[in-house]
Structure 1
């Protein structure tokens, strides 16, 4: 008797490239609230201790990429997965490097929470009829000042936009002045709330912002603060309609569909 496999599970590894276990727990909480297919299995990974505890600038991005790539490839753990989500809101080198790998379950589907958030935001924007009103916008609220230029350049590069030209749909990046680690016990919650609301209101002041991206994995679960800022800025009716994108959830959802599409459209053996 022979049997034929018709369906199989989708195994996604969510990689926290910093060494903060608390950050990974925050990511896990964001994922636990998702309505996923029963066949989708999610696993999390925290970088080894020699990776930065908080990724706050370009040097931290590069250092974390080197540590994690070496650890993941030398351990052989990637052979167990169909897809990998890099849970650092940056233009992270791991995304490109991991996407080149071939595992035992086929070529990995890979994205980062930055890339997934951009795609999710663009898909959610309303298109005004016949351009009778200004274009609806999306933007990013992030941590430190470094990320304003880094993420703005990243958006232009990812979308193939000329940085010298205005992007009518991108409201830009506003920072809180905090580090990623501050969102997990490093700073008084009242201070976090105040700074996050201030940055959100500045972003919302850049036009008809319809979608706000939480530009740090450490912000998972803080969407209520952004919502309150939107209500204060726009009023209850419009403020409650603002869409708040969590990059971790956007990334998991995107990868789930990417794996399905690869299986549907890849060349049959």
Structure 2
């Protein structure tokens, strides 16, 4: 780290400026939909990023599914993207990778093992980031009452209910019974990821998303709703309206609505810093 001191020309008050190496984060869309990547980019543009953080995006090549809707799509996208990235060696220029598919995606482990073994690359998925953000927010003082506060996921197809529930249990290293106090579970809209980008009308999207959100909120005092699909980026207002309808303006207005892409970028920024700050000499 280089330390440079300078003087302000107006008041001659001495200030200190730290010059830091940039953190380069790749946001990786493992499906082949450019429109979905653009939706993720729009969400990223709303973030107040550190001047030293650089964000890049990647869309999977043709051959990967345009919409990841089940376990077969997860595996297929993982194989194609892994082959593409390892063949080109593109990951060497990044400090961190965010896998922008809300699933237990094999790329998180594959890329972490491939590049993380070299001591550089930090890898997370938006699923893991959404879970961690929810747990951190629920650890804060209660917003409303002393009743158990919960978090849950609103996602797309029925397939993801079991997939994500198993994923939460495995990630936290616990069983379903132990999670029941805080994990409200998974509710689905019945839509595909691609439906959020022109597959169906905006009216259908709103209706399905509101209905799924209200079912989740009806499972208890849910203070955190995680958007369980990268294609939902930018649809927070729909979930907020459902929360206000269900809980009223005051309580519904304070529900945390978590975009896994935004959560993931924040997590990776901090993790890259922590890796440098706390690593062994």
TM over 0.5: yes
Alignment partners' CA distance in 2, 1:74 and 1:126: 42
**SS at 1:257 equivalent:** helix
Cα pair 1:128 1:135 within 8 Å, conserved = no
Partner of 2:266: 253
Q: 1:94 to 1:44 in 2, by over 3 A?
A: same
Distance in 2, Cα, partners of 1:162 & 1:104: 30
Instruction: Check whether the contact 1:183–1:192 (CA below 8 A) recurs between aligned residues.
Output: yes
Greater mean alpha carbon deviation, residues 219-228 or residues 166-175: 166-175
Aligned equivalents of 1:208, 1:126: Cα separation in 2: 14
Of 213, 216, 219, 1:200 maps to: 213
Counterpart Cα distance in 2 of 1:254 and 1:151: 20
Q: Distance in 2 between matches of 1:123 and 1:133?
A: 17
Counterpart Cα distance in 1 of 2:272 and 2:249? 39
TM-fit CA distance, 1:161: 1.1
Using the TM superposition, name which of 185-194 and 103-112 deviates more.
Answer: 103-112
Aligned mate of 1:161, from 168, 174, 182 = 174
Offset at residue 151 of structure 1 (A): 0.4
C-alpha deviation, 1:266, in angstroms: 1.5
- Cα separation, partners in 2 of 1:134 and 1:96, compared to 1, 3 Å: same
**Contact kept in structure 1, 2:116 and 2:122, CA below 8 Å:** no
What is the rounded CA distance, in whole Å, between the counterparts of 2:118 and 2:53 in structure 1?
15
| 1:29-178 correspondence runs (5 A) | 29-102=42-115, 106-126=119-139, 133-178=146-191
Taking the TM superposition and a 5 Å limit, the aligned residue runs for 1:227-266 are 227-266=240-279
Q: Which segment drifts farther, 132-141 or 185-194? A: 132-141
Q: Aligned-pair distance for 1:6?
A: 6.2
Unaligned runs of 5+ in 1: none
Structure 2: distance between partners of 1:134 and 1:237: 17
**Alpha-carbon deviation of 1:162?**
1.5
Residue pair 1:52, 1:63 contacting (<8 A) in 2 also: yes
The structure that has the greater radius of gyration is 2
Q: Is residue 112–residue 121 contact of structure 2 (8 Å, CA) maintained in 1?
A: yes
Matched positions, count: 264
What TM-score, normalized to structure 2? 0.90
Matches of 2:256 and 2:146 in 1, distance apart?
Answer: 19
Q: 1:167 to 1:111 in 2, by over 3 A?
A: same
Contact 1:82 1:106 in 2 (8 A): no
Q: Secondary structure at the match of 1:37?
A: coil
Whole-Å Cα distance in 2 between the matches of residues 117 and 237 of structure 1?
24
Give structure 2 stretches of 5+ with no counterpart. 4-17
C-alpha spacing 1:164/1:230, structure 2 compared with 1 (3 Å)? closer
TM-score calculated relative to the size of structure 1: 0.94
2:40 matched residue in structure 1: 27
